[in-house]
Every structure is written in structure tokens, then in C-alpha cells.
A and B are shown apart, each in its own frame.
Chain A
Amino acid sequence: MKGLRRQKQAKTCRVIPGFGLSMGVTVTMLSLLVLIPLASVLIYSMKLSPEEFFQLIGRKEVRSAFSTSIMCSFIAAVVNCVFGVILAWILVRYEFPGKRLLDGLIELPFALPTAVAGITLSKMYADTGFPGKYLAKLGIQVSYTKIGLTIALIFVGIPFVVRAIQPILEKLDPSYEEAGNMLGASKARIFRKIILPELRPALLTGFGLAFARGVGEYGSVIYISGNSARKHTQVVSYVIMQKLNYVDYAAATAIALVMLILSFLILFLVNMVQVHQAKRTA
């Protein structure tokens, strides 16, 4: 009886009034900002016949742009997963001076105009910049290559991973590690067998977001990648921009549609794996 009454009370005391009203606002905002723009991409590309569509997509520079974008984003997302876990670990498990500052800096890639990051990184890693000078002596060129491109994508994607992992690490009960310890497991084994599985769903989310963001990234990438068709450093968003400059709207929307589908697939896949994993612990 008591439980029932409480439930009823909760129903009438929601913070945002009225399911109808709030749902209406949600749908309107979502339509104006997300659904209609995305649908228009779809409608524009529908104007193309399938042969035209595949011919536009199949062009050499478009194909190579896709493979560059996907490969570099993937590598960047993987690097971010390793680096992000370490960063989150340090932020959660240790106390050190400047911890709050470092914690605040994590979001900087979100806040900073990506063009600023792109220009700074490309100057730094150019032959005349500080680390770039020494790397050049070793024969490693970073700016205007795929390496530079990947570095820019790592910069852009790191907050996704750190912010996905951090709350999970904070909530992780220390008794799991202690249990592993009592059973004689080494630190490496505890991390691999006990902590990592706990982090996996969050890690996957961070990976998916960083990857999807990397595939679509424009601002930071165009300054550092050099955008050379010959060196295969053109990314997809650059190619779209190029097509728009040449007033080739058909090609631009065709590529945009593929990117849309790709991003959707990445996030969908991540979600599927999440659901599968959640079944074990729910």
C-alpha cells in the first residue's frame, strides 16, 4: 500500500510539468536541429540515380579520403583509449597539486576552436617547431602527414574517453581489487581481469564517440594534414568542402550521406555491444 501510494505521488510530482508539453518541446527541438537537417541530406542525395551516386562515391580521391579518415580516426581512438584510461586513472586515484586544473583542462579540446588547435599543432610539429625540429632530425615528419592528422584527432577525441571512464573508476568499489589481491593476483592481473572488464562498456562508449567525431572532424585536421591528394592526407570533410567550392552539390551530398550512415553505424554498433554487455550485469 505504502509503495503504491509513493509511486502515485511520484507520478504527480515530476519536476517538468506534463508529459505532453515536455515531449512536444523535445520533438520540436529535435526536429529543427537534428532530424530535418539530416533528412534533407537524404532527400538531396535521393535526387541522384544509384549509378550516379556510386560513380560519385567511387571516385579515387573520395575513396582514399574515406580510407584516410577512417584509418586515422580509428588509430586515434585506440590511442585515446589507452591514454584516456591512464589520464582518468591518475585523476581518480591520486592526489597531486594541480589536479583540479588538469581535470578542468580535459575539456579544453571541446571549448577551444578546433582551428586554433589545428594551427598550433601544425606549427609545433612542423620542421621549425619545438618537438617537430627534433623529430625531423630523426627523419620523422609529423605535420602535413597522416601522423600529424592522427595527432590532431587524438587531441580532439581525448575528452570523450576520459569523461566516459572517470565516473566508472570513481564508483568502482575498491573491494574488487582487494578481493583479487587476497586471492593472490598480481597488480597486472587485477587490472586486466578485474578492472578492465568493469571499464569496458564505458571505454567502448568513449571509443565510439571519439571515432565518430574523428571521422567527421574538419577544423583541426585541415591545417595539419596538408590536404594533399597525392600523399593521401585529404579527409572526407575536406573533400566535401572542396566539392562545395566547385559548386558540385551532388557529389557533396552523396559523400555526406555516406558519412551520415557511417557515423550512425558506429554508434549503433557500440550501442549493440553495450546492450549485450549490460545483460550480464543487469
Chain B
Amino acid sequence: MYVEMKDIEKHYGDFKASDHVNFGIEKGKLVALLGPSGSGKTTILRMLAGLENPDSGDILIDGKRINDIPAAKRDIGFVFQNYALFRYMTVFDNIAFGLEVQKVPKAQIKERVMELIQLTGLSGMEKRYPSQLSGGQRQRVAFARALAPNPQVLLLDEPFAAIDAKVRTELRNWLKDMIHKVGITSIFVTHDQDEAVEVADEIIITNHGRIEQTGTPMEIYKTPETPFVAQFIGKSTVVSHYEQLNGFDSVAGASQAVIRPEFVRVSKSGRLEQYMSAAEEGTVEEVVFRGNHLELTINIKGISIKAERSLEKDPVSVGEKVQVLIYRLYIFDENRTYLMENSAMQENDVFYI
């Protein structure tokens, strides 16, 4: 493991910001620290950077313990949420700052800065001041500035928070490509799961100062290990009394379940051709237009669940009776999450074949 945190604890007064944090990151990976606000993800990033000190535990980079090395000597690049570009310096001077500190010869500084300007697509802007740049361009400058001294690790705090939604998607891809091109081990903090899933090779999910799960985006999506992850990832609806639903039996200890919209298929009454016995009858409670699909809230035996419906299909209206198929759901107890398939559908499978 290239970057490691071992049993890190951090308190702010009575508040536990990090609670036995353990994780390891392989060299060259792009990792997302994902969690709701106040979950301790930024604290982890700042402790890695050396801007905060853990109460106990070890931080290692490349096998070396760096707890006692000050931030300025850690050889880590940091991109701040607001970019913190120096307002009274040009783009060139901003990027050159870290190299000037190291007393690199002028000619070499110029070469390196121009190389980074080229790489980040900022050519022709080296004489501009940060106030004369767009949000996306500022992010590029911040990125180039952090990379200029050739750090071992790059840390990014909410790199897309200050950018408007339209440009954000474009920049996500840009940053992902750029980091892979440079090949630097990078960790970024985000509260946006779409961002984490799209950009990261690996995701570390934090909650209440603890690490809930670590894995690739697909692993996290498909096999959430804890109740928190099951609820946090995807557009999840939490349901109690899942055993009332057709095809799902009660499991001792697990009293709640998570249903994601993609687990649910909604058909207009009488149009369902398969799995008749597994289907439930529900009433549409709410229809919300979400731009490229409809989001439905359906009431089945007093349980409200969310479902999505393509605009290509016949529209449904509020109060309409529909047939609902629930393929699977995640049930969870205090500590674990289990995937449960609809048993009525399994039997039907056998029956039809």
C-alpha cells in the first residue's frame, strides 16, 4: 500500500471526527472519500496533508511514517475547495510558486510551468490574474500549481463544488483523464456519489468518523456491506415490514430493507405478462418529471416505494392502479446488509421454463 492510515483517531472537543480510521491505497490509484457532510472525510484529507494532526495512529506514505513531518515538507499537492489561487499573482506566478520556494533555477521553472500550462490547456493565459478566469480554468490552475513541484500524492478537497453543474460533468472527465495521464496517486473528497462513482477507481465511504466500506464503485453499488452504505448509495427508499411484500420472507433480526428504483418495474394494470404471482398491486401517489424520466411514488399495502418510468412508455397518473414487480431488495440488521431476491419470481422462473 502506498498511502496508509492506521487506527487514526481525531477529536475536536467532544466531537469524534475520526474513529479508528484504517485504509490503504495502492500507488497510482484515484480514490474518492465519499460521505455526507460532517462524516469526517475532509478531516482525513487534511490529516494526510499535515494541516491537522491526528490524536493517535499512524499515517504512512511509501512505507514511511509521516506524522511528524510538517505539511510543507510532506511532498503532497493539495487542491483546495475554493482553489485558493493567489489573487495578486498571474497564472504563471501561481504555478511557479512551489518551484520558486524550492529555489529551482529560473529557466527550469519556466520550462516546467509552460509544460503544465500546455498540459492543462491553459496556453495563452499565463499572464492573466485568477479573477480573469472562469471557474473551470481556475480549477486547472489550482491543479497545475499543486502538480508543479512533482508531489508524491495529490489531494483534492471537493474539487467540483465551486463549478456550475453544466461544466461539472465535463471537468470530471477532464480531471480523471489528467490524473491517469500524470499517473499520480490521488485522493479527492466529495459528498456527491455520482461524482465518486464516475471519477474514482476506488471509493472509501465515511460516516460518523468511521470508514464504512472500501471498494470499487461497482462493488460498493452491488454489495453494500453496511446499512449506511445500502441507504447512502443509489436513490434508496428504506422500508420497514418488507415481509408483507410478495416473495420476501422475514429474516430474524433484520427489520428493515432498502429498495432502489432500478429494482422495481412498474406496469400498467393488466399489461404484465410474466411473474404474475410475484407482482404486487399498488397505487400511484406521486409523479415527478425528472428531465429524462418520471419518478413515481407508489403505495403498496401502505408501503411507499420509489420507481422510475421511461418517458417512452405510456404515462401513468396519480391515483392509478399499477402492477409492481420488485426484483430484489437489501435487508439489513444492525451491522450487516444482505441481498434478497424475490423468491416468487425464482419459482416462476422454474415454472415457465
Contacts and interface: CB of A to CB of B under 8 A. Distances in A.
Given A176-B86, A198-B87, A183 B145 contact: yes
A280 interface: yes
A175 B77 contact: no
Contacts of B97: 180, 183, 185, 193
Interface residues of B, number: 25
B78 A281 contact: no
Interface in B60-113: 71-73, 76-78, 80-82, 84, 86-89, 97-98, 101-102
B82 A182 contact: no
B84 A179 contact: yes
B101 A185 contact: yes
Interface of A: 173, 175-176, 178-186, 189, 193-194, 197-198, 200, 280-282
Interface of B: 49, 51, 71-73, 76-78, 80-82, 84, 86-89, 97-98, 101-102, 129, 131, 145-146, 149
Instruction: Tell me if A's interface is mostly helix, strand, loop or mixed.
Output: helix
Nearest to A178: B51
A194 B49 contact: no
B101 A182 contact: no
Contacts of B80: 175, 178-179
What are the 9 tightest A-B residue pairs by CB atom distance, in nearest-first order? Answer: A183-B98, A197-B88, A175-B84, A179-B84, A182-B78, A184-B101, A175-B80, A184-B72, A185-B101
15 contacts: A175-B80, A176-B84, A179-B78, A181-B51, A182-B76, A182-B77, A182-B78, A183-B97, A185-B98, A185-B101, A186-B72, A189-B101, A193-B86, A280-B87, A280-B129
Given A173-B82, A281-B129, A182 B87 contact: no
A182 B72 contact: yes
B280 to A, nearest CB: 42
Given A178-B78, A189-B101, A184 B86 contact: no
Most buried by A among B49, B71, B84, B102: B84
A185 B86 CA distance: 13
A184 B87 contact: no
Given A175-B80, A183-B145, A185-B97, A281 B88 contact: yes
A184 B82 CA distance: 19
